[in-house]
Each structure stands twice: as structure tokens, then as C-alpha cells.
């Protein structure tokens, strides 16, 4: 029980599933002590007038007591960063709740180039049953009192600064998805050093495989129209139901459209990425400059639209040279 708790809050679509399923495992020196259900039930879901930090604190204490010696206890759940479909509302409240629950925890925040993450978020929106065109989805709040997408949720420096204020800058580590793709060994070793994981000796070959990519962007016009006739989280009561997204016709058409001849004929079409470029080019540059100043640990932000890297703090020295371009984007 000697190791401190590592709290990984996301963001969504930043290799969180890979970390939960393949990195934060006993073979790598980690032991997950709670999953999404516990995080939802005892941290995120409780009404502000009913939230009691003692409930989750008690569950963590019990789980920490049974954590095998030498393993770092981990809670990894991207829902702690707020939901991107609804502007990330509540992310600041969750940060303060975590401080009340586990004041001595180390915090891991995973991020990704905004242009890439926005495209991925929209494709996830379709997978959950969304029907809006990219332009309408990214337009934001649909009406007074109803939350929608908000670009400021992806101004990463804001949430990182809050966690630094709450937990101390030395107790907050930022990892980019790009670093995991470009130099997985260096990125995961820096993380292990931050987490106090003394047994980590690199990611096992069997755990390096990435998760399957989403359906291609050129399939969007078909998939979002199918969602109008399928039950889903976002469309629970369609007028005519012919299946359930992400299964049924959604999966069938997605599978077919991913393969030749469609991939040959339409592979160069990227309507969501084109929309993101048109709407958000330059939008996050100022935030990313502030991120470079805040993060402290080594960050290569070339993929974020600026040629800036964070300056290492004395208490958190950089442990790697410039990341190697060995992966695919």
C-alpha cells in the first residue's frame, strides 16, 4: 500500500482505452482499483447537493489496502474530463471532487492535437447515434439552457492549470497521444518515472497493438442518415426503428464502406477533417502556447500547430530527446 494513487482523467479519444486495457496492467507495474462504473456512480453522477467525498474515499482506501506490493494503484476514466459532446461541462467540479476524495494523488492528463481530436470526437458522436452534420455539431450550444460542443473544452491549458493549482504542479503529468505513437518507449518511461513505478521495463510486445480505427470519414453522410432510423444513446426513440447503433445497419454499412472499391474511390475524401480545418485553424494556438509554459515535462507540440516545447522544470526533468517519427499519424 506504499504507492500513491495515480488518477488518469482523460481526455476522451487520447488512447485512453489502450492505456486502460494494455498499459495499466500488472505486467507493467500498475493495478487498476476502480473502473468507469465506480467513477460514474460516486464521482461524476452525484448531484452537487448530494455529493459526499467520503463514499469514494472509503472505496479507494479498501482497494488500496489490497493492492499488491510493488504495483502502482490507478484509476483511469476519461469521463472525469467532462463529456466532449456537451462542452466538457463539469470538468472543473470533478477536479475539485477528486481533490476532496484523494488529495495526495498524482494526476495524469492525456491530450491530443486539437484538429485530430475534434475529428475523432465527431466520429465517436456518430458511433453513439448522432445525426448532425459536422458543421452543426461544431456550432456549439443549440439553445439557451442546453449544452453542446464547446471549443474551449479543448483549450487544454485551462484544466491543466486548475489541476496544478489543486494538486501542485509537480503532481500533474501531461502525456500526448502523439508521443505514444512516435516514441512509445520514451513516453511510457517518463510516465512510469512520474508515477513512481519502479518495476516498469517497457511496454510488452503483446500490448503494443493499437485499437481498430473508426469508420472512414467519407462514410459520414451515409452513417448519420442511418442513425435517424436506429435506436441509440443519442436517439433513444426513432420514429422508425430498423436496428440499434452502433450495430445493425450502421455496422453493416460501415464495414462495407471501409473496404474496396469504396476505399479506392473515396479514400481521399475527408469531410470532417476539412470542416475542422475550416472552422478551427489557429483557434487553439494561444492555448497551446500557454500549455507549453504550464506542462513542465517534455512536450513536442509540433502537431498542435506551433513549434514550441515546454521548458522542463527542475523538479521534473526531461528524460528524452526529440521524439522520433516512427509511427503513423
Residue whose C-alpha is closest to residue 197's, from 32, 30, 315: 30
| CA separation for the pair 322, 183 (Å, rounded) | 9
- pLDDT for res 304: 87
- pLDDT for res 326: 36
Domain ranges within the chain, ordered by starting residue: 6-114+144-210+283-304, 217-266
Residue whose C-alpha is closest to residue 95's, from 13, 174, 14, 10: 10
What is the arrangement of strands in the sheet containing 30-34, beginning at the earlier edge strand?
30-34, 72-76, 6-8, 106-111, 172-176
| CA separation for the pair 225, 133 (Å, rounded) | 10
DSSP code for 224: H
The model's pLDDT over 151-190, given as tens digits with 9 standing for 90+, comes to: 999 999 999 999 999 999 999 999 999 999 999 999 999 9
Reply yes or no on whether the pLDDT at 236 is more than 90: yes
The model's pLDDT over 101-143, given as tens digits with 9 standing for 90+, comes to: 999 999 999 999 999 999 999 999 999 999 999 999 999 988 8
- pLDDT for res 142: 87
Q: What is the CATH number of domain 6-114+144-210+283-304?
A: 3.40.50.300
The model's pLDDT over 33-92, given as tens digits with 9 standing for 90+, comes to: 999 999 999 999 999 999 999 999 999 999 999 999 999 999 999 999 999 999 999 999
Mean pLDDT for 284-293 is 93
Amino acid at each position: 500500500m506504499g504507492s500513491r494513487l495515480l488518477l488518469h482523467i482523460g481526455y476522451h479519444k487520447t488512447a485512453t482505452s489502450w492505456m486502460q486495457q494494455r498499459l495499466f496492467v500488472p505486467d507493467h507495474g500498475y493495478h487498476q482499483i476502480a473502473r468507469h462504473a465506480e467513477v460514474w456512480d460516486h464521482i461524476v453522477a452525484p448531484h452537487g447537493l448530494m455529493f459526499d467525498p467520503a463514499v469514494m474515499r472509503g472505496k479507494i482506501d479498501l482497494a488500496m489496502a489490497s493492492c499488491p506490493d510493488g504495483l502502482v494503484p490507478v484509476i483511469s476514466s476519461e469521463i472525469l474530463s467532462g463529456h466532449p459532446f456537451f462542452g466538457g461541462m463539469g470538468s472543473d467540479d470533478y477536479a475539485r471532487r477528486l481533490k476532496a476524495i484523494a488529495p495526495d494523488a498524482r494526476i495524469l492528463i492525456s491530450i491530443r492535437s486539437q484538429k485530430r481530436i475534434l475529428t475523432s470526437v465527431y466520429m465517436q458522436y456518430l458511433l453513439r447515434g448522432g445525426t448532425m452534420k459536422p458543421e452543426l455539431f461544431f456550432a456549439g450550444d443549440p439553445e439557451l439552457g442546453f449544452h453542446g460542443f464547446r471549443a474551449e473544452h479543448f483549450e487544454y491549458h485551462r484544466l491543466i492549470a486548475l489541476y496544478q493549482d489543486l494538486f501542485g504542479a509537480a503532481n500533474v503529468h501531461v502525456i500526448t497521444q502523439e508521443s505514444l505513437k512516435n516514441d512509445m518507449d520514451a513516453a511510457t518511461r517518463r510516465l512510469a518515472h512520474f508515477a513512481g513505478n519502479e518495476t516498469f521495463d517497457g511496454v510488452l510486445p503483446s500490448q503494443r497493438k493499437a485499437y481498430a480505427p473508426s469508420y472512414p470519414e467519407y462514410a459520414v453522410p451515409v452513417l448519420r442518415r442511418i442513425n435517424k432510423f436506429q435506436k441509440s444513446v443519442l436517439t433513444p426513440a426513432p420514429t422508425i426503428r430498423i436496428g440499434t447503433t452502433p450495430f445493425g445497419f450502421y455496422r453493416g454499412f460501415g464495414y462495407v464502406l471501409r473496404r474496396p472499391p469504396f476505399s479506392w474511390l473515396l479514400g481521399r475524401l475527408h469531410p470532417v477533417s476539412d470542416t475542422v480545418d475550416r472552422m478551427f485553424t489557429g483557434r487553439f494556438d494561444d492555448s497551446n502556447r500557454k500549455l507549453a509554459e504550464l506542462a513542465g515535462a517534455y512536450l513536442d507540440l509540433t502537431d498542435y500547430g506551433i513549434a514550441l516545447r515546454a521548458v522542463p522544470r527542475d523538479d521534473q526533468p526531461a528524460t528524452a530527446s526529440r521524439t522520433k517519427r516512427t509511427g503513423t499519424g
